[in-house]
Structure formats: structure tokens, C-alpha cells
Amino acid sequence: MTNEGPATNGDAAADESSAPIRVMLADDQQLMRAGFRMILSTEPGLEVVAEASNGAEAITRARRHTPDVILMDVQMPGTDGITATREITAGSGSKVVILTTFDRDDYLFEALQAGAAGFLLKNSSPEDLISAVRIVARGDAMLAPELTRRVLDRFTTRTGTVRRPEQLDQLTEREWDILRLLAAGSSNAEIAAKLFVGEATVKTHVSRVLAKLGLRDRVQAVVYAYESGVVTPGDHS
């Protein structure tokens, strides 16, 4: 599901000793919400604080409950999940994970641009669901490489849009390496192994890349890398 893997026992223990991760569910299917609530409510350190059946409700309840993580369906009546994601991420610190299926990826690039922190396949295992919530809550992006590449390849192939912003000239050679590996969906641990440096060093480089390029998070870095031509469709090495 994601190259960062599920939370370890140590992670779980840390979560139990601190404030619980507050989760909101936004999906027009009541059965889907009930299933997610059942899984998450039994997990230590997680708390479902609100539900919404459409995008407008999601916006209102996100403001009221200020969840840490929102699991957001895209196709909902009225205000859709992309519009809701854009408004929520622009006005709060809530992280949004888009709920999707493999056969509907045409709108996912828009979700990334709207500020989503990643994707979760609706047929994912309970372990993947829990792991996704924890990963996003701690500030990391939750990008399944196979899905992310498919979406971005489709977008760049369709539009042919490549622009090279001047900010790229500010990057050092090592920061270019970091940006390319971020675009490939690599975790900090994987980047550290590939570049033969420590994870703390990787975190420092990632922070500098985001600051120099004016990006909010790793997800925006992936979008930026494709839009600016740092990586191109088929370049998945």
C-alpha cells in the first residue's frame, strides 16, 4: 500500500501515551463509513470524531471538529471530495487522504493539487487503513508508488505541459537527487539507503527542498517534479 509500512509496536505505544489521532470519515456510503469506523475505533490511539456524507458536510464538520486526518471519498453528491479537500486544506491543518479505486484515477491528480496528503484504495486491508492514518497524522505523505505514477503519467501524457520554474536553479546537486527520489515515492529510509546518508540528513534535505521551492509537503513535491519536467512519464528508476 505504501512504502513506509504499518506502524510498529513502538509507534502504537507512543500513540497510546499521547493524544489520540482524531479522524473524520467523509463518504456518501453509510456502509463504507460504518466499516471504517469499526476498524479505526478498535485501534489504540485513534478516535473517529465525525462523519460526513457529502463534501459540504465535510467542510462544515472539519471546521467544527478539527480532525487530524480526514478520509475523503471523491464522488459524493453536491460538493465533491476534491472541492472539499481544497477548501479544508487551505483553511486548516487537517490532512486529507483520498479514498479511491484503481479504475477511477482520472481525477486524482486534481486531488493532489487540491492539497491531499495521499491516496487510499477502498479495497485496502484494515492494517493498511490504520497505517495510512498514522503515516499522514505524523506529517508524512502516503503515496502508493504504483498508483501515484499511474496518475501522474496519465496527467503529463494528456497535457504535455512542462514548465521549468526558476526556483529549481536554487537546488544543490544533492537536493536534485532528493527531489527525484521524492517523485519516485521513496520514503526517507529508502532515500537514505540509496544516497548512503542518515535519515536525519534526508529530513534536513527534504525540508530545504520544500522551502526553496515554496512547497507545503512531499505530495506537492511529487506534483511539482512532474509539472516542471524534473521527472517524466516512464522515468521510474
9-152 matches 162-227 in fold: no
Task: Please state, in angstroms and as integers, the Cα–Cα distance from residue 6 to each residue in 2, 15, 89, 134, 218, following that order.
Answer: 8, 13, 25, 8, 19
| Cut 0.75: pTM above it | no
* % of the chain with per-residue pLDDT over 70: 78
What fold does the segment set 9-152 form as a domain? Rossmann fold (3.40.50)
Q: Where are the beta strands (DSSP E) in the chain?
A: 21-26, 46-52, 69-73, 95-100, 118-121
Tens-digit pLDDT profile for residues 35-66: 999 999 999 999 999 999 999 999 999 999 99
The architecture of the domain spanning 162-227 is Orthogonal Bundle (1.10)
Amino acid (1-letter code) at residue 39: I
Question: Using CA of residue 208, residue 212, residue 218, residue 223, what is the dihedral sign?
Answer: negative
Chain Cα centroid distance, residue 75: 18
Residues facing residue 21 across a β-bridge: 46
Top pLDDT among 148 and 40 is at 40
Every domain of the chain and the residues it spans = 9-152, 162-227
Work out the pLDDT band at 5, boundaries 50, 70, 90: very low
